[in-house]
Amino acid sequence: MNIIEILRRFKEDKIGIHEAEKQIKLFEISRVGDFGVVDITRENRAGIPEVVYGENKSKEQLNRIV
């Protein structure tokens, strides 16, 4: 689902405002393969920049994440 579809569903009263917000916030998370997740708006939201947890990841995986 994309943001336009979420907004359309909200406009048509198929989902509420809180559910629309929850679904839109999922676009702030970026998955990298099956080994990494990056929260691209963490600093704006939490005041703390994103941290990459590197334990058990290869150099290649870390390069892809950052």
Q: pLDDT per residue over 34-50, tens digit each?
A: 999 999 888 988 899 99
Q: Between the CA atoms of 10, 11, 13 and 19, what dihedral angle is there, to the nearest 10 degrees?
A: 10
Give me the torsion for CA of 26, 31, 35, 36, rounded to 10°: -80
DSSP letter at 56 equals T
Total tally of structural domains belonging to the chain = 1
Domain with 51, as residue range(s), is 3-65
Strands of the chain, DSSP E: 29-32, 36-39
| pTM value surpassing 0.85 | no
Mean pLDDT, all residues of the chain? 92
